Chains A and B, each alone.
Chain A
Amino acid sequence: MFDWLFPSPPDRRLLPGGKYSGPTPWLIAIMMFVMMIVAAAGLALAGGARLVREGVEHRYSIQIADGRAQEARAVAAARTAPGVTSATPVPEAELRDTLKQWLGPVAAGESADLPLPSLIEVELAPAADPKAVATAVRRAVPSARFVADQAQLSPMLGTLTSLTIIAAVLVALIAFATAAAVVLATRSALDTHRATIEVMHGIGATDVQVTRLFQRKIAIDALIGGVGGGLLAALILLLVASGGIGALGDWTNGSLLGLGDVAVLASLPLFAAILATLVARATVLRALRAQL
């Protein structure tokens, strides 16, 4: 099946030129570098979104707009509702500290003329029914709002999902551009070796015999370029993950790419080589069919 990758020395001599000649390996290396960086960014975004989603999946908050008088009743109702693992009021000082970041000192003192809602953080067991908990809390405090944290984070999660999709589309576009580059490189190689092909055909070579020579050359170029570009991208990604690139390292904390993601990234050079080989094969066969 892969015997075309290991031709005899005479067959190898039919298409001259070193393995590293021509722009194809360089082109594929650049494409692979960009593809891996974009793919890593997409996988990190997807991983980040997953982490956030999992972190808030069972977390809710009870918000009571008209003050703290009813807070104790709401907490009690929540704690007795089935499936609630914890219900903890957020201290007013903590709320004011948070608000201080946006409103300044006016939010800091208790005497400030700024009414604050009561906020109770609730965590549910995985099998709990949030609607039943909400009903129980509203029965105790009709003005209470029972809000899923995930709903509050949905704009951010939506943005992360959109960015992930954009990264996936970019990877697909880069793969398409790589395929187009391989088509051009293959056509150029066909033009360069047209005389040899004509002689081979005249002597009775089949299309498959001619195609094997080109698909091997392109496969080797693609593998060299893919591995080269991939290794450079891996180095950059390792620097980012280890915090070697300042704020990026702080942001990602090196934890957003799992083993599965790394396996996907590591398979990209192989994917590029397979893609290039198939595209080269199809291009050569199509070009040969135009001849007698």
Chain B
Amino acid sequence: MGLRYGTGGEVLRDLEFRLGAGAFYFLTGPSGAGKTSLLKLLYLAQRPTRGRISLFGEELTDAPRDVLPPFRRRIGVVFQDFRLVRHLSAFDNVALPLRIAGHGEAEVEGPVREMLAWVGLADRASARPPTLSGGEQQRVAIARAVIARPELLVADEPTGNVDAAMAQRILHLLTALNRLGTTVVVATHDLGLIAATPGSQLIRLENGNLIDPTGALKHPPVQSGTTYQPRAG
């Protein structure tokens, strides 16, 4: 598949790969290689301009937009710029996916408090994003992405604004989620993070092209469950 914005050149070219269900991927590449564009395709914020995408076993390339929300609820996203709702408290931001999915307040309170405690923000639950530091905002964004136990977690530089200790903690959270069956894709420049995650796989992009010399990304080991399959059309 390929992706271009407007009349510009293709930012992603001839990408063909499958994500194994329950696998852990790091997406790397130099700045401008197309990592964020690829993540947008993964969390259904963008359609490819050519080729096909299937997600969770469903062909979604040309799916009507009203079909997409249920799929989006199965995906957690950590944006590079956090995208927290500025006028909502940290608690409300983290609770948003559960409320949108239709959970009542009784089902929201406990898990959200627990998640905020886990990311070290129990005492900042009522704080709004503008009063939080960059690192705190990032932790709220991560908590929001994982609160609904997504089947696919997509994170764009999730440790970019936190100290080494918190980065390790976040990595542990992501690997714990992965162990529970969530497929994780993390875009990062942090080689230490990759090294600290044994068993993870690498997706490397350069100038919009996928570097896959062994073909392992095209044909990953067969696993049951969720699969994500962007492939050439």
Instruction: List chain A positions with a Cβ less than 8 A from chain B.
Output: 8, 10-11, 13-14, 16, 195-196, 198-207, 209, 289, 291-292
Contact = CB atoms under 8 A, between A and B. Distances in A.
A204 B92 contact: no
Interface string B183-211: 00000000000000000000000000000
B77 interface: yes
26 contacts: A8-B105, A10-B95, A10-B105, A13-B92, A14-B85, A14-B88, A195-B83, A195-B85, A195-B86, A199-B83, A199-B85, A202-B43, A202-B77, A203-B77, A203-B96, A203-B144, A204-B69, A204-B72, A204-B97, A205-B100, A206-B66, A209-B100, A292-B45, A292-B46, A292-B47, A292-B68
B158 to A, nearest CB: 16
A287 B110 CA distance: 36
Given A201-B72, A292-B47, A16 B96 contact: no
Contact of A202 (B47, B83, B86, B87): B83
B233 interface: no
Interface of B: 43-47, 65-66, 68-73, 75, 77, 83-88, 92, 95-97, 99-101, 105, 144
A229 B70 CA distance: 43
A284 to B, nearest CB: 14
Contacts of A206: 66, 69
A202 B44 CA distance: 8
Nearest to A17: B87
B100 A203 contact: yes
Contacts of A209: 100
**Is the contact region of chain A dominated by helix, strand, or loop, or is it mixed?**
helix
A11 B83 contact: no
A22 to B, nearest CB: 15
A50 B99 CA distance: 58
Contacts of A202: 43, 45, 72, 77, 83
A128 B73 CA distance: 78
Contact of B92 (A10, A195, A291): A10
Given A10-B99, A13-B88, A209-B100, A198 B68 contact: no
A288 to B, nearest CB: 8
Given A14-B85, A204-B73, A204-B100, 17 more contacts: A8-B105, A13-B87, A13-B88, A14-B88, A199-B83, A203-B72, A203-B73, A203-B77, A203-B144, A204-B72, A204-B97, A206-B66, A207-B65, A292-B45, A292-B47, A292-B65, A292-B68
B66 A203 contact: no
A204 B101 contact: yes
